[in-house]
Structure 1
Amino acid sequence: MEKNYTNIDVLISKAISGNATPEEMHELEQWRSAADSNRVLYERTKKAWDRSEGYLSEEQLNQDKFQLTAEYSNYLSGKIKRISRQSFIYKIAAVLAFPVALGIGWHLFNGGEKQLQLSEQFCEISSPKGHVSKCILPDGTEVWINTGSSVVYNTASFNRGIREVELEGEAYFEVTSNKENPFVVVTSHANVKVTGTSFNVVAYSDSQEFETVLAEGNIELQFNAGNRESLDIKPGQRAVYYPANNDLKIQQVEADMFTSWRNGELLFKDATLNDLVKELERIYDIKFHLKPQTLGNFRFRGMFSYNNNLIEALEKIKKTSGIDYYIENKEVWLRKTN
């Protein structure tokens, strides 16, 4: 039976950068011996590494290596990978993820002399289902990434002018103040521009709405479509934007109700069962059904913890609302008890 090697990209990068343990070197050797294609991939990657060293000073290598080592420590709760918008350099971007230098991929491993543009190297931090991840960006900004969400930023241009990150899903930001270099969260529906503040953003690409809640400071909301001008949001305000009809709603809210998830808690105050179900589906990666559909209008208040399992969450709903449940084919059905 063929052995399943996991994280082989990381293993290669640690070996060619001199950071692999004896056990990891032994595992890598087993992988190389398993197939000729594995050996070829390793040799080509090592060649790319060797060629790149002549183009980067030792000071640059050490600086980038230190930065990636620090990033790796901060991102233990998430998943880090190098990605590129140019598909032909994707593999080398992946195998040189960490702890090697940001600028290592100067040569492709097909023997060519093409140079890689550092502006095309990106770092993605994602949070797996049922977990909240926290990371620290190069400028010191702290980011909490909700379950099933991800943040991407350009490793070369970040903190050089505009500090820009792309968000898919939900994240909470505590942005390091820097009036000269604005911080911008880019999403599919709207962007959030700040210089230093704390705020939450919900922007799923498959959703027809965008939401941001400001905890403190100031943010500028910029719309990607329609004729709306930029809008300044004040602390304690929640902005919900519907791009389909260019509708915008501003509410005064308790920010903690919308940001408590970063502590592994979900707080609901006069929320509908539909709202609750939407969050539980994201946390537990399971489909809910309501019988009848009008059950979704039931008002609910309470707290759920990410540490609770699915059954504990369902039992809490049952005890507080009288709504029963059953699980069939990995799907949850909620129904009103007689």
Structure 2
Amino acid sequence: MQTDNKIQLLQNFLNGSITDQELKNLFVWLNSEKGNMEFEKLLNEKWLTNKFQTTENIDSTILFSRIKTKIEDKQLSSRKQLLIRFRKVAAIFILGLLIPTIYFTVLNPQKDNKKVVYLKESLSNEKIRKMTLPDGTAVWLMSGSTITYPSNFSENKTRNVEITGEAFLNVAKDSLHPFILNLGEVGLKVVGTSFNVMNYGDEDRVNVVLKTGKVDLFKGKYNPDNDFVHLAPGQLMTYKKGEPEFLISYVDVDKYISWINGTLLFHNDRFEEVLKKLGKWYNISIEVNDREISNFLFTATIKNENLDQIVDLLKYSTPFKYSIYKADGVTKLVVEKMK
């Protein structure tokens, strides 16, 4: 889309004259990595502030939330019209709106014929995104992570959520509706607590670090009769996928949750784990050409540094060679031993 077309879409949305197709186009544009960068560029170059009188209307977080709400409202209205038009038909099939990073999955109808809509929030071009779930639970999502949750928790006995990647959650207290976090082979139940979780699909383990409250861990799918393992504040649970047991130890919680404030803390960490974290934090691919590099112990505090500054820091603090390559929009950092 040309710049004028993009601004026109924003104007149409804000003044309420946007069509369904234009709304889809606007959502897809703003939700893409390229579109997000273009939006910020327009904002920085005063294109948007010259067109609109207030900056509140063009705040990216508020704008994106309003667009999603508009789409959901249109979908709900469309469903109501279909139900009225075909109420005498025995079977009704409703096609949901398919858009990247937001999808709608209709579960099996309950006895009251209510359906649960699931939303999927994914983060790829930001380091951190803070969001609030429908029950009031606050979530900090790290780059490269995904969270799936119902649009309405009140229709179920439990608040079911799924996370891949890394996130910190401050769960809203509700003793009548336990909060269930599904992590593949394992899961956890809480009522109201705060904790950090790491659950990457390409890694062989799941980590949960508890800051406050209590966590009940279980294997498989949640059932009130499950055998639970309890986690106390200050403890780390490590589950190696495919293994029978949870490994629990005491740790420095701040080291695991400092990232929500934009800081990465490393203290005698294996360089392999450090590079994995940096790769996700800066959204880059990292290649290690010598496995001995992985066992090097690394200590540092990283805050607000850009990628070039990080590479300079690594050069001065480790005995390795670093090279950066960029191709097809992908940045790769190659690490190898000095010759």
Q: Taking structure 1 as the reference length, what is the TM-score of the superposition?
A: 0.69
Q: State the distance in 2 between where 1:29 and 1:106 align.
A: 15
Residue 222 of structure 1: CA displacement? 1.2
Partner of 2:315: 318
Distance 1:140 1:157, change over 3 A: closer
Query: What displacement does 1:239 show?
Result: 0.6
2:71 paired residue among 94, 97, 107: 97
In 2, distance between residues paired with 1:202 and 1:180? Answer: 27
- The answer on whether the counterparts of 2:127 and 2:282 sit within 8 Å (CA) in structure 1 is no
Is the alpha carbon distance of 1:95 and 1:184 closer, same or farther for their aligned partners in structure 2, counting shifts above 3 Å?
A: closer
**Using a 3 Å threshold, how does the CA distance of structure 1 residues 317 and 196 change in structure 2: closer, same or farther?**
same
Shift of residue 133, structure 1, vs aligned partner:
0.6
The alignment of Structure 1 onto Structure 2 pairs a total of residues equal to 276
Q: Matches of residues 186-265 of structure 1 in structure 2 within 5 Å? A: 186-224=182-220, 229-265=227-263
- What SS does the aligned partner of 2:115 have? helix
Q: In structure 2, the residue corresponding to 1:97 is in which secondary structure?
A: helix
Partner of 1:76: 61
Distance across 2 between alignment mates of 1:78 and 1:171: 23
Report the AA paired with residue 71 of structure 2: A
Distance 1:77 1:272 in 2: 40
Cα shift readout 1:120-151 (whole Å, capped 9, x = no counterpart): 31222232334201112222211111111122
Secondary structure of residue in 2 paired with 1:285:
coil
CA–CA separation in structure 1 for the residues paired with 2:266 and 2:311: 15
The one-letter code matched in structure 1 to 2:254 is D
Provide, for residues 45-78 of structure 1, a one-character-per-residue CA deviation record: whole Å limited to 9, x for no partner. Answer: xxxxxxxxxxxxxxxxxxxxxxxxxxx9999289
CA distance in structure 1 between the aligned counterparts of 2:198 and 2:6, rounded to whole angstroms = 32
> Quick check: 1:159–1:181 contact (8 Å CA) kept in 2?
no
**Residues 140 and 268 (structure 1 numbering): CA distance in 2 closer, same or farther, change over 3 Å?**
same
Secondary structure at 2:203 match in 1: coil
SS of 1:129's partner is coil
Question: Could you tell me how far apart the structure 1 residues matched to 2:137 and 2:59 are?
Answer: 12
1:47-58 residue pairs with structure 2 within 5 A? none
> Does the 8 A contact of 1:198 with 1:217 survive in 2?
yes
Report sequence identity in percent.
24
Q: CA–CA distance in 1 between the matches of 2:288 and 2:215?
A: 38
- Quick check: 1:155 aligned with 2:156? no
Q: Structure 2: which amino acid aligns with 1:335?
A: E
Aligned-partner Cα distance in 1 for 2:317–2:63: 34
Distance change in 2, residues 1:287/1:187 (3 Å): same
Of stretches 73-82 and 278-287 in structure 1, the one that deviates more from structure 2 is 73-82
Aligned-residue offset at 1:29: 9.8
Q: How does 1:285-324 map to 2 (within 5 A)?
A: 285-305=283-303, 307-324=304-321
Helix, strand or coil for the counterpart of 2:321?
strand
Q: Distance in 2 between matches of 1:297 and 1:327?
A: 22
For structure 2, list consecutive stretches of 5 or more residues without a partner in the other structure.
26-56, 95-112
Deviation at 1:233, TM superposition (A): 0.5
- Separation of aligned partners in 2, 1:247 and 1:28: 54
Q: Report 1:21-60 matches (<5 A).
A: 21-22=14-15, 25=17, 28=19
Q: 1:179 to 1:301 in 2, by over 3 A?
A: same
Query: Following the alignment from structure 2 to structure 1, what is the Cα–Cα distance between the partners of residues 306 and 264?
Result: 14
CA, structure 1 residues 207+310, in 2 after alignment: closer, same or farther (shift >3 Å)? same
In structure 2, relative to structure 1, the CA distance for the partners of 1:4 and 1:279 (3 Å cut) is farther
Deviating beyond 4 angstroms after TM superposition, the runs of 4 or more aligned structure 1 residues are 1-8, 27-32, 72-75, 77-82, 107-113, 115-118
The secondary structure found in structure 1 opposite 2:77 is coil
Matched letter for residue 284 of structure 1: Y
How far apart are 1:223 and its partner, in Å? 1.1
Question: Aligned residue for 1:122?
Answer: 118
Pair 1:264–1:229, CA change in 2 (3 A) = same
Higher relative contact order (CA 8 A, sep 6+): 1
Counterpart secondary structure, 1:177: coil
Return closer, same or farther for 1:318/1:336 CA change in 2, 3 Å cut-off: same
SS at match of 1:119: coil
Q: Distance in 2 between matches of 1:135 and 1:78?
A: 14
In structure 2, relative to structure 1, the CA distance for the partners of 1:208 and 1:241 (3 Å cut) is same
Runs of 5+ consecutive residues of structure 1 not aligned to the other structure: 33-37, 39-71, 83-93
TM-superposed deviation, 1:335: 2.6
